[in-house]
């Protein structure tokens, strides 16, 4: 039935539902940081659904192998109709809330406050407010339509510039200290009052970004064509790029300051978890939902070996078994212990596959958390109160507790883990794992001992993951079971899936996106899980092979896509013959 | 001496007897075909030999030693390789990597060797690659050149079958088990494959046990033929003997109506 509604109205309805949803969960009303002038994050987010929907109906489409571009004359009304629908839905929402009374609604949806209502109606009560909201949404939809109808060479720089402006508006805390350190004034850019961008600053950033992107896109091909590429220059370019990345990695913590170095440290910890889990899930194809067990083992083993104290009701006490090793001497022991735990977890699940394996490992993850916080092992691990006073990792007079120094410790561990993952992928061991992932029974028949290689995957994945736990213990200096919830396993898995299963760069990017972005844009902290859900859904629909796919796996998914598209195309073609579709946005351009 | 002895092997699934006291032997250097109507237990005997199924009764003896109870990978290591009735490749790995997995049981590199790039690991990796390439090279240009770096799923059906055989060859077997190697191939490919099977024995010195339905292939390659029905051997001997055996004709065509 939904399919019988004209496309523009459908898009508008979806945008309207998303807008209402954003209002209800509080994203619009409670995110009050100013981005540009007095426009808050909430308002920016509220305007996105209509713009996006307007864009989607007006963007160029490929119809039977031919690109159909909308003209602005067709794009604007299409976008406006989208906006009208979105606005109408929001007006209905406002009407219902007013009818029931804000306080009644608030009993259920605590985010619905008078402030939100006045934001939606621009401070006008009754019909005027609703009309204003509808008009605003029509305008936003039309803007989306215009963007959709633009030529690529204008649209791409526009979108990039807008994204940069909005991001910059949220990043004062990171940009301001960095600029200050370089001795640059930024009061023209950031308003001292709102802490967001000034209108002048926003316009300047927009124009500069637009012009640079535009010029780059127009000329990069020409420049590339002009410079003669030989293997020698290619190698030179690669060396320069690597050197630049290296220098950037070293300079990064000093540029961004200590708060953001801490976020980078956490990103690094999740890169380690992701790389370890990537061996288990991506290489060997064993879906492990209890990966937090290794994180916990790494953290608690480090705490015990380096001389952390357990928290008691009366104060601190040493655990029943305690050594005072240096962190760097403890690490090899931690790794061995984690690998052994990997064997212990792996052994009982050797015969399980797929969903069953996932469920059982999920249980193991919980068992690990419960054991570490149990009264039974209270003497060793401090029970629910956990452990504290975990020493830092000293080398000379560096102790890596300082977040900027800690970053380098994490960086070193990540580089080691990346190297190991990379070497393993292209070796006899990696091939055996891949073969097992592809078809366990056949791998066995071709001579791969699946028992041995499953255990090896769990041990190896556990060992790398435990490094993340060990660093976590050093980073926070105190542990309790709240740090080892199921969410850690899920996040690590999301990092692997988002980046692309089996892909090392994918893990890095996945961790940056899922841990780094919510950390940097701390406004969204309370909506982190909402964001995860949305991002994962989007990935599954738009790019199931992950952001940076492992080359081969992606090809198969794409082939499947082509086949599915053909099938879907055939189905919709039938449908078009029977249902009236509004021929909008299909002018020439 | 017999390379492989299948002695009174029985295997049942619930009430269904797939094999009941099957006996036959494979001599070193021969090509032995197993024929029989659908459901005669031909593939089951392959699965028992390669360790995928444990027999309920009887023994499988390879080079004078029982291999019952060994895992499939141990049996492969001893020198028995197989292909499957329906093609089973590692579809997302490249053609070359598929063959390289075959060399797994002939190599030893561990995690430490792989991570620390030891000289012996590099040497072994080179040898794995060479062996895999030569296994692929058995099929001439079919699996050569750019194809080696393509994912296995991109191959044509016939090439997938060839790759599966190349992967089996890469395990350096002495006994090769082929389960309906020409199923789904066109007549030209079938003829080509028939020559390949003969060459595997003549050039590579393999002993081959083959399940086949195409009687031209059976006739063309077999030194001896074993015919099965209901999990038992009903005839054995040269192709002509077996083809004219009345039990075999009965198994394929049924008995004449009385009168």
* pLDDT tens, position by position, B70-128: 999 999 999 999 999 999 999 999 999 999 999 999 988 888 888 888 888 889 999 99
CA distances from A266 to A270, A282, A472, A516, B35 (A): 6, 22, 8, 8, 64
Cβ–Cβ below 8 Å for B93 and A456? no
Q: A423 to chain B: which residues are within 8 Å by CB? A: 114-115, 117
Which residue in B105, B114, B168 is closest to A429 by CB distance?
B114
Residue A20 inside a domain? The answer is yes
Interface test with A, best of B92, B122, B153, B155 (most A CBs within 10 A): B92
Residues A312 and A381 in one domain: yes
Q: B92 to chain A: which residues are within 8 Å by CB? A: 434, 438, 552-553, 555-556
Last residue in a domain, options A456, A484, A512: A484
CATH number reported for the structural domain that contains residue B223 in this entry = 3.40.50.300
Residues A96 and A192 in one domain: no
Nearest CA among B188, B183, B243 for reference residue B213: B183
A166-175, A353-362, A486-495: range with lowest mean pLDDT: A166-175
For A146, the domain range is: 1-61+68-150+552-589
Residues B56 and B44 in one domain: yes
What is the distance between the alpha carbons of residues A287 and A272, in angstroms, rounded to a whole number? Answer: 17
Cβ–Cβ below 8 Å for B111 and A555? no
Query: In the structure, what pLDDT confidence band is assigned to residue A576 with cuts at 50, 70 and 90?
Result: very low
Residue B200 inside a domain? The answer is yes
Residues A171 and A309 in one domain: no
Last residue in a domain, options A435, A462, A484: A484
CA distance A436 to chain B (A): 9
A218-222, A276-280, A543-547, B52-56: range with lowest mean pLDDT: A218-222
Q: A456 to chain B: which residues are within 8 Å by CB? A: 111
Residue A326 inside a domain? The answer is yes
Stretch A569-578: mean pLDDT: 48
pLDDT tens string A413-461: 999 999 999 999 989 999 999 999 999 999 999 999 999 999 999 999 9
Cβ–Cβ below 8 Å for B93 and A450? no
Q: Searching chain B, which residue's CA lies closest to the CA of residue A449?
A: B73
Residues B233 and B256 in one domain: yes
Nearest CA among A516, A526, A532 for reference residue A174: A516
Residue A536 inside a domain? The answer is no
pLDDT at B175: 95
- Judged by a CB distance cut-off of 8 A, whether residue B176 touches chain A is no
For chain B, the maximum distance between any two Cα atoms, rounded to a whole number of angstroms, is 80
Query: In the structure, what pLDDT confidence band is assigned to residue A570 with cuts at 50, 70 and 90?
Result: low
CA distance B40 to chain A (A): 23
Task: Give A140's contacts (C-beta < 8 A, 6+ positions apart).
Answer: A47, A50, A51, A54, A83, A86
Radius of gyration of chain A (CA): 27
Residues B151 and B106 in one domain: yes
Query: Per-residue pLDDT for A228 more than 80?
Result: no
pLDDT at A541: 87
For B46, the domain range is: 1-79+173-259
Q: How does the average pLDDT of chain A come out, rounded?
A: 85
Q: Searching chain B, which residue's CA lies closest to the CA of residue A460?
A: B111
Residue A192 inside a domain? The answer is yes
As for how many domains chain A has, the answer is 3
Task: Give A179's contacts (C-beta < 8 A, 6+ positions apart).
Answer: A185, A186
> Exposed (0-12), middle (13-18) or buried (19+): which is A231, by Cβ within 10 Å?
exposed
pLDDT at A533: 87
Residue B4 inside a domain? The answer is yes
Residue A358 inside a domain? The answer is yes
Query: Per-residue pLDDT for B258 more than 90?
Result: no
Residues A30 and A80 in one domain: yes
Q: Tell me which residue has tokens 């962190």.
A: A327
As for how many domains chain B has, the answer is 2
pLDDT at A393: 79
- Judged by a CB distance cut-off of 8 A, whether residue B129 touches chain A is no
Q: Tell me which residue has tokens 């003497």.
A: A379
Parallel, antiparallel, or unpaired: how do β-strands B175-179 and B80-82 relate?
Answer: parallel
Query: Per-residue pLDDT for A249 more than 50?
Result: yes
- Judged by a CB distance cut-off of 8 A, whether residue B151 touches chain A is yes
Cβ–Cβ below 8 Å for A432 and B101? yes
Nearest CA among A503, A499, A502, A504 for reference residue A515: A499
CA distance A282 to chain B (A): 13
Query: In the structure, what pLDDT confidence band is assigned to residue A359 with cuts at 50, 70 and 90?
Result: very high
Residue B11 inside a domain? The answer is yes
Q: A447 to chain B: which residues are within 8 Å by CB? A: 73, 76-77, 101-102, 104-105, 171
More reliable by pLDDT, A576 or A253 = A253
pLDDT at B14: 86
Last residue in a domain, options A466, A484, A502: A484
The ipTM assigned to this model is 0.94
Residues A306 and A289 in one domain: yes
Q: Of the segments A48-62, A86-100, A245-259, which one has the largest average pLDDT value?
A: A86-100
Residue A9 inside a domain? The answer is yes
Query: Per-residue pLDDT for A230 more than 50?
Result: yes
CA distances from B257 to A561, B128, B234, B244, B253 (A): 55, 59, 21, 19, 11
What is the distance between the alpha carbons of residues A302 and A391, in angstroms, rounded to a whole number? Answer: 9
Interface test with A, best of B46, B49, B53, B72 (most A CBs within 10 A): B72
pLDDT tens string B145-177: 888 888 999 999 999 999 999 999 999 999 999
Residues A75 and A144 in one domain: yes
Query: Per-residue pLDDT for A552 more than 60?
Result: no
pLDDT at A415: 95
Query: Per-residue pLDDT for A163 more than 80?
Result: yes
Strand order in the sheet with B232-237: B80-82, B175-179, B207-211, B31-35, B224-229, B232-237
pLDDT tens string A385-407: 888 888 887 777 777 778 888 99
Cβ–Cβ below 8 Å for B151 and A555? yes
CA distance B193 to chain A (A): 21
Asked if B104 and B152 count as a contact pair (C-beta separation under 8 A), the reply is: no
Torsion of CA A428, A431, A437, A443, to 10 degrees: -70
pTM: 0.85
Last residue in a domain, options B172, B192, B209: B172
The DSSP code for B98 is H
What is the distance between the alpha carbons of residues A59 and A146, in angstroms, rounded to a whole number? Answer: 9
A311 DSSP β-pair partners: A316
Residues A28 and A4 in one domain: yes
Cβ–Cβ below 8 Å for A428 and B151? no
Residue B201 inside a domain? The answer is yes
Task: Give A138's contacts (C-beta < 8 A, 6+ positions apart).
Answer: A80, A83, A84, A87
Residue B88 inside a domain? The answer is no
More reliable by pLDDT, A1 or B250 = B250
Last residue in a domain, options B172, B189, B221: B172
Cβ–Cβ below 8 Å for B153 and A556? yes
Residues in A whose CB is inside 8 Å of some CB of B read 419-420, 423-424, 427-432, 434-435, 438-439, 441-451, 456, 460, 552-553, 555-556, 559
Residues A145 and A162 in one domain: no
Query: In the structure, what pLDDT confidence band is assigned to residue A575 with cuts at 50, 70 and 90?
Result: very low
More reliable by pLDDT, A524 or A299 = A299
Asked if A464 and A275 count as a contact pair (C-beta separation under 8 A), the reply is: yes
Residue B84 inside a domain? The answer is no
Asked if B233 and B45 count as a contact pair (C-beta separation under 8 A), the reply is: no
């Amino acid at each position: 039935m939904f399919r019988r509604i004209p496309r523009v109205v459908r898009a508008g309805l979806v945008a309207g539902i998303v807008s209402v949803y954003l209002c209800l969960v509080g994203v619009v009303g409670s995110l009050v940081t100013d981005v540009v002038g007095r426009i808050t994050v909430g308002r920016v987010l509220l305007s996105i659904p209509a713009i996006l929907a307007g864009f989607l109906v007006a963007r160029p489409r490929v119809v039977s192998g031919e690109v159909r571009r909308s003209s602005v004359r067709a794009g604007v009304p299409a976008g406006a109709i989208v906006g009208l629908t979105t606005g109408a839905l929001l007006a209905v929402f406002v009407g219902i809330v007013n009818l029931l009374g804000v306080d009644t609604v608030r009993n259920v949806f605590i985010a619905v406050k008078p402030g939100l209502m006045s934001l939606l109606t621009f401070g006008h009560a009754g019909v005027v407010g609703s009309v204003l909201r509808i008009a605003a949404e029509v305008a936003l939809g039309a803007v989306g339509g215009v963007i959709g109808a633009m030529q690529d060479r204008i649209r791409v720089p526009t979108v990039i510039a807008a994204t940069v402006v909005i991001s910059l508006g949220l990043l004062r805390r990171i940009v301001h200290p960095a600029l200050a350190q370089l001795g640059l004034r930024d009061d023209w850019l950031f308003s001292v009052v709102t802490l967001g961008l000034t209108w002048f600053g926003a316009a300047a950033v927009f124009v500069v970004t637009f012009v640079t992107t535009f010029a780059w896109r127009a000329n990069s091909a020409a420049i590339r064509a002009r410079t003669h590429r030989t293997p020698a220059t290619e190698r030179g370019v690669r060396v320069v790029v690597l050197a630049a990345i290296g220098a950037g990695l070293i300079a990064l913590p000093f540029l961004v300051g200590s708060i953001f170095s801490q976020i980078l440290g956490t990103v690094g910890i999740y890169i380690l978890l992701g790389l370890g889990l990537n061996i288990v899930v991506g290489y060997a194809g064993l879906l492990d939902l209890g990966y937090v067990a290794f994180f916990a083992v790494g953290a608690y083993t480090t705490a015990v070996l380096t001389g952390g104290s357990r928290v008691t009701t009366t104060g601190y006490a040493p655990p029943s078994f305690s050594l005072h090793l240096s962190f760097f001497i403890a690490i090899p022991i931690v790794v061995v212990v984690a690998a052994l735990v990997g064997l212990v977890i792996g052994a009982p699940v050797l015969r399980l596959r797929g969903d069953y394996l996932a469920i059982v490992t999920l249980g193991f993850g919980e068992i690990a958390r419960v054991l570490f916080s149990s009264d039974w092992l209270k003497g060793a691990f401090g029970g629910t109160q956990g452990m504290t006073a975990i020493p830092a990792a000293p080398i000379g007079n560096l102790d890596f507790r300082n977040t900027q120094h800690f970053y380098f410790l994490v960086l070193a561990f990540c580089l080691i883990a990346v190297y190991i993952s990379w070497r393993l992928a292209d070796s006899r061991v990696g091939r055996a794992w891949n073969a097992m992932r592809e078809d366990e029974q056949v791998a066995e028949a071709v001579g791969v001992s699946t028992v041995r290689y499953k255990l090896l995957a769990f041990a190896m994945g556990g060992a790398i993951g435990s490094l993340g736990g060990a660093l976590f213990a050093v980073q926070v200096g105190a542990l309790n079971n709240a740090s080892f919830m199921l969410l850690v396993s899920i996040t690590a898995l999301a990092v692997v899936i988002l980046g692309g299963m089996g892909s090392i760069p994918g893990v890095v990017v996945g961790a940056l996106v899922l841990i780094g972005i919510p950390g940097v844009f701390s406004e969204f902290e309370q909506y982190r899980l909402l964001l995860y859900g949305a991002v994962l859904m989007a990935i599954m629909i738009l790019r199931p092979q992950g952001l940076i796919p492992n080359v081969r796996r992606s090809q198969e998914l794409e082939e499947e896509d082509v086949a599915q598209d053909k099938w879907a195309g055939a189905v919709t073609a039938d449908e078009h013959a029977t249902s009236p579709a509004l021929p909008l946005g299909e002018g020439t351009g | 001496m017999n390379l492989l002895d299948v002695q009174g092997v029985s295997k049942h699934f619930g009430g269904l007897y797939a094999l009941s006291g099957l006996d036959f032997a494979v001599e070193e250097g021969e090509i032995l075909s197993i024929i029989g109507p659908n459901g005669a237990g031909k593939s089951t005997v392959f699965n028992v030999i390669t360790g995928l199924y444990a027999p309920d009764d009887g023994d499988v003896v390879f080079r004078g030693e029982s291999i019952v109870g060994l895992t499939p990978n141990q049996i492969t290591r001893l020198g028995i390789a197989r292909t499957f009735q329906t093609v089973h490749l590692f579809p997302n790995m490249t053609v070359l990597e598929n063959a390289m997995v075959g060399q797994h049981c002939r190599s030893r590199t561990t995690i430490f060797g792989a991570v620390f790039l030891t000289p012996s690991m590099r040497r072994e990796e080179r040898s794995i690659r060479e062996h895999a390439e030569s296994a692929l090279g058995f099929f001439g240009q079919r699996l050569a050149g750019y194809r080696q770096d393509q994912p296995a799923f991109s191959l044509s059906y016939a090439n997938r079958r060839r790759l599966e055989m190349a992967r089996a060859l890469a395990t350096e077997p002495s006994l090769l088990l082929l389960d309906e190697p020409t199923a789904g191939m066109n007549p030209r490919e079938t003829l080509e494959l028939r020559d390949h099977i003969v060459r595997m024995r003549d050039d590579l010195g393999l002993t081959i046990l083959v399940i086949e339905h195409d009687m031209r292939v059976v006739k063309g390659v077999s030194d001896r033929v074993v015919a099965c029905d209901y999990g038992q051997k009903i005839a054995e001997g040269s192709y002509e003997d077996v083809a004219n055996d009345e039990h075999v004709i009965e198994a394929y065509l049924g008995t004449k109506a009385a009168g």
